[in-house]
């Protein structure tokens, strides 16, 4: 499984929702819980909530450092 997104088992553990109930599917109940908790997520084409691991850990993956913009030598500070 990917290290970028939570697995379905981890989503079930996070939300506490393992099965559907009251006419809603498990995924619909998980989406409701995630929305009420303010956890950012996406739903894929099948309606399954996709949660980035960084949304839970509070960290960002390594990003490339910002590159300096070109500046003529005349304007460069010394």
| In-domain check, residue 62 | no
Mean pLDDT of 63-74: 74
| In-domain check, residue 23 | yes
Structure token digits, residue 40 = 């950012």
What is the extent of the structural domain holding 18?
A: 8-57
**How many domains would you assign to the chain?**
1
Task: Please say if the pLDDT value at position 71 is more than 70.
Answer: yes
| In-domain check, residue 30 | yes
Mean pLDDT of 11-29: 94
Buried b / exposed e across 43-76, counting CB within 10 Å, b at 16+?
Answer: eeeeebbebbeeeeeeeeeeeeeeeeeeeeeeee
Q: Given this model, what pLDDT does residue 49 score?
A: 97
| In-domain check, residue 26 | yes
| In-domain check, residue 63 | no
Q: Given this model, what pLDDT does residue 61 score?
A: 55
| In-domain check, residue 39 | yes
| In-domain check, residue 69 | no
């Amino acid at each position: 499984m990917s290290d970028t997104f939570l697995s379905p088992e981890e989503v079930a553990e996070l939300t506490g929702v393992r099965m559907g109930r009251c006419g809603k599917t498990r995924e619909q109940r998980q989406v409701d819980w995630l929305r009420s908790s303010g956890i950012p997520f996406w739903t894929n084409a099948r309606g399954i909530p996709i949660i980035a691991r960084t949304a839970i850990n509070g960290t960002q993956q390594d990003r490339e450092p910002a590159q300096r913009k070109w500046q003529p030598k005349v304007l460069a500070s010394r």
